Structure 1
């Protein structure tokens, strides 16, 4: 899986992280990190320490919610958190690829091909270390909530998520 680190999508994540001084954090796992549960199992960490990068549409605009692996995005709260009006719905695979440049299963919170409004789940503050996808289903990077805010420019809000 080391070759996954050579993928263009993974290199975009590495470059975005490097812009804010975060280096040498992207790793390739032997097991898939396609889902939050897969990533938690592969990393041996709590499910909640996995950052799910979820893409939605509010009206015609693509947006992202970064949500703890053990929580669900509150799609009713998301438009207000991002200061947008309209109904929120899950984006399909084509919209995800167009908005982020990533395929579902490897969508990273950074390195997008277009600028997205981003809301970050405040419940991630339960963990000193969190892990996010890095542009490929086998690649992740370790970070903190503070670093995630810095690198994404996202808005942290406790209302982004709810218990399933």
Structure 2
């Protein structure tokens, strides 16, 4: 049986290779559009899932890679990074990342997207991120996520900052 293919996943694979990485892209039987579904499908803790959430910061798209165990406190995070965070439309998500909500990967976008990486992900040796499609994931680490995205490590909610 051949491995499935998808243009957005192919771009993620190319971007990973450009960063010296070749992790196994895991295709799952069903779309995993929540952190809990992804964790259950992979057999890991929900905190190991690196959710890729696109927001706007003063109107410009940003990517927040957050632990599946957290919710992003947009007002609190906006104060920390110096702007107002809002919801991104599904059209803006697709435009900024070339991917659709539920499958947004940390990289493989048409142009760099300013990225923030939840420091809670550092608690795990292995984390899992979407690979450009809602049925795909790949293993990585907090340090690799920061490196390959050029991301800024940050807490995404006040309780996590206090921990």
Render the CA deviation track for 1:5-52: whole Å, top value 9, x for unaligned. Answer: 411100011011111111042111123222111100100110010000
Render the CA deviation track for 1:76-123: whole Å, top value 9, x for unaligned. Answer: 2434554x43x2111110110011110111011111112211000001
Q: Confirm whether residue 15 of structure 1 aligns to residue 14 of structure 2.
A: yes
Per the alignment, residue 98 of structure 1 pairs with 95
Matching of residues 1-150 of structure 1 within 5 Å: 5-82=4-81, 84-85=82-83, 87-150=84-147
Give yes or no for contact 1:29–1:42 (8 Å, CA) kept in 2.
Answer: yes
Give me the TM-score of the superposition, normalised by structure 1: 0.89
Give yes or no for contact 2:23–2:139 (8 Å, CA) kept in 1.
Answer: no
Q: Secondary structure at the match of 1:135?
A: coil
Change (3 A) 1:24 1:157: closer
Aligned residues: CA RMSD: 2.0
Render the CA deviation track for 1:116-140: whole Å, top value 9, x for unaligned. Answer: 1100000111111100000111100
* Structure 1, gaps ≥5 residues long: none
Paired positions, count: 160
Give yes or no for contact 2:76–2:158 (8 Å, CA) kept in 1.
Answer: no
Give yes or no for contact 2:33–2:102 (8 Å, CA) kept in 1.
Answer: yes
* Structure 2, gaps ≥5 residues long: none
Q: Secondary structure at the match of 2:110?
A: coil
Which whole-Å CA distance do the structure 1 matches of 2:23 and 2:72 have between them?
Answer: 30
The CA deviation at 1:58 is 1.4
